[in-house]
């Protein structure tokens, strides 16, 4: 638990940051004096009012972190809003303002900044979600299985899952010649879906099945490592190290070979020596070995590492063992979630057919296997995440994030779903997974 002094120091830093951000919100201005014209005087008054609201909001949010009191928080926020509205009206009443009626627009920017800054300063959790987004290339509808609708639904799930620090995606296609560009669709909402913007970081390893990271925090390092397989330079791992407020955190994501590129086929000659030594006999097994070795080679910090992706392999397989046999944690099971039940779809992440679109427009689960994972390498040494616990599916800390299946209900954001023109039921043929690692301090 942070000390009161540390909490006040964080607040002062955020207050100063709020003052600086107002320059970009309101534009350049000069301090009012006897010789300054009315337009500058108006801008100064509005800037001061907006700055006071940033400070008031951060103070209110900080108090609420120490002792949660929704009623008090609501009163504080309402009071700050009333003061801003009154100040803007007073400034405009004096005349000379270059813009009028802009209180709502400025207030929205101020509120978004304050919420984002307060979240950064109090964020003692590491939250990550993962989903194979489904490229839609094989869909017969001409709209790639309603990709625009599916991206919209995906972002609703992101917001509904507490706006994770990072989201990893697979099967992202950027192929204008095929009429499918998914990066612009992801970028279009990346700055507005949550109180903070996401940066969209594609691996740019292949145009047909790329890995992508959405991150709210800056990327410190990034690397793409290609994996052995029947198709050269196709399957890959995207590694990123993000500057989480707690400490640097490593994220690795992949999509291992499937049937379309002979995942279960004999390891393509010449099969790498490391794969042979580890006992791998198929392309996908070799890729799992290579990925695990890459992680061991790259993860050289005390902070935790999160390993995500569509591994195209069930629990208990050779591929799965490459991760859990190293002591890396299958977070789905560790948080108390049930193993996949094919008959009901509970705990399952794949199996839904995408070929004719009908199962994406059905409220039935149709998932039959678990091949999508979030493995965890715990923090070590001086990491504040040493001894961290996984927030279970019940979301015990109440922040909206949890360790559970991602997108496992048929469009809970609409009254009903189905075939067009109804909202689509699922963002993908997969259901992903998510993690909420409570580190504390």
**pLDDT for residue 177:** 85
Backbone phi, psi, residue 348, to 5°: -100, 155
Say what the pLDDT of residue 139 is: 86
Measured CA to CA in angstroms, residue 31 lies from 17, 18, 21, 91, 316 at distances of 19, 18, 17, 15, 68
Is 333:340 a contact under the CB 8 Å cutoff?
no
pLDDT at 246: 93
pLDDT of residue 294: 98
CB-CB contact of 299 with 305 (8 Å):
yes
pLDDT at 108: 72
Superfamily of domain 124-438: Endonuclease/exonuclease/phosphatase (3.60.10.10)
> How much is the pLDDT for 118?
55
Closest to 214 measured CA to CA, from 235, 192, 232, 230: 192
Q: How far is 350 from 157, CA to CA, in rounded Å?
A: 17
CA atoms within 13 A on the CB side of 56: 22
**What tens-digit pLDDT sequence spans the chain (441 residues)?**
233 233 333 333 344 444 444 444 545 544 444 446 888 889 888 888 887 877 776 666 655 554 556 577 677 878 888 888 888 888 889 888 988 888 888 877 776 666 555 555 556 899 999 999 999 988 877 789 999 999 999 999 999 999 999 999 999 999 988 889 999 999 999 999 999 999 999 999 999 999 999 999 999 999 999 999 999 999 999 999 999 999 999 999 999 999 999 999 999 999 999 999 999 999 999 999 999 999 999 999 999 999 999 999 999 999 999 999 999 999 999 999 999 999 999 999 999 998 889 999 999 999 999 999 999 999 999 999 999 999 999 999 888 999 999 999 999 999 999 999 999 999 999 999 999 999 974
Q: What is the pLDDT of residue 116?
A: 58
The DSSP bridge partners found for residue 72 are none
- The owner of tokens 């509005």 is 46
What is the rounded distance in angstroms from the CA atom of residue 319 to the CA atom of residue 287?
A: 8
Q: Quick one: tokens of 124?
A: 């003692």
Residue 200: phi, psi to the nearest 5? Answer: -100, 110
Rounded to an integer, what distance in angstroms lies between the CA atom of residue 209 and that of residue 174? 8
The structure tokens listed for 198 are 């996401």
Residue 389, H or E segment: strand 389-390
- Eight-class DSSP state of 437: E
Question: What is the reported pLDDT for 20?
Answer: 44
Domain extent listing, the chain: 4-121, 124-438
Distance of CA 408 to the CA centre of its chain: 17
């Amino acid at each position: 638990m942070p000390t009161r002094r540390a909490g006040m120091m964080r607040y002062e830093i955020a207050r100063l940051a709020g003052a600086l951000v107002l320059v970009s919100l309101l534009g350049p201005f000069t301090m009012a004096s006897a010789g300054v014209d009315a337009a500058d005087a108006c801008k100064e008054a509005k800037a001061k009012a907006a700055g006071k609201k940033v400070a008031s909001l951060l103070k209110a949010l900080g108090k609420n972190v120490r002792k949660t009191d929704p009623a008090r928080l609501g009163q504080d926020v309402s009071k700050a809003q009333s003061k801003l509205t009154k100040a803007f009206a007073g400034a405009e009443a004096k005349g000379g303002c270059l813009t009028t009626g802009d209180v709502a627009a400025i207030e929205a920017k101020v509120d978004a900044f304050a919420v984002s800054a307060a979240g950064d300063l109090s964020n003692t959790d590491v939250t990550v979600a993962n989903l194979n987004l489904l490229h839609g290339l094989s869909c017969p509808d001409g709209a790639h299985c309603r990709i625009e609708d599916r991206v919209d639904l995906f972002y609703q799930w992101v917001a509904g899952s507490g706006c994770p620090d990072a989201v990893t995606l697979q099967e992202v296609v950027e192929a204008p010649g095929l009429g499918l560009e998914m990066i612009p669709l992801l970028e279009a909402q990346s700055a507005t879906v949550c109180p903070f913007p996401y940066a969209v970081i594609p691996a740019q390893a292949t145009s047909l099945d790329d890995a992508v990271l959405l991150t709210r925090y800056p990327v410190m390092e990034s690397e793409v490592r290609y994996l052995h397989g029947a198709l050269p330079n196709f399957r890959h791992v995207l590694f990123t190290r993000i500057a989480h407020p707690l400490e640097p955190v490593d994220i690795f994501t992949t999509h291992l070979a499937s049937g379309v590129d002979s995942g279960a086929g004999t390891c393509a000659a010449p099969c790498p020596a490391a794969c042979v030594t580890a006992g791998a006999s198929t392309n996908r097994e070799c890729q799992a070995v290579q990925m695990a070795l890459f992680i061991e080679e790259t993860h050289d910090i005390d902070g935790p590492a999160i390993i995500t992706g569509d591994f195209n392999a069930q629990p208990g397989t050779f591929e799965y063992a490459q991760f859990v046999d190293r002591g890396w944690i299958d977070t789905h099971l560790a948080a108390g979630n049930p193993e996949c039940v094919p008959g009901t779809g509970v705990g399952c992440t794949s199996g839904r057919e995408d070929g004719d679109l009908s199962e994406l427009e059905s409220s039935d689960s149709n998932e039959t296997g678990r091949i999508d994972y979030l493995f965890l390498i715990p923090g070590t040494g001086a990491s504040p995440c040493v001894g961290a616990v996984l927030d279970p599916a019940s979301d015990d800390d109440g922040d909206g994030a949890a360790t559970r299946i991602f997108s496992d209900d048929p469009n809970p954001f609409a009254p009903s779903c189905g075939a067009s023109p109804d909202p689509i039921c699922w963002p993908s043929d997969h259901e992903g997974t998510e993690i909420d690692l409570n580190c504390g301090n």
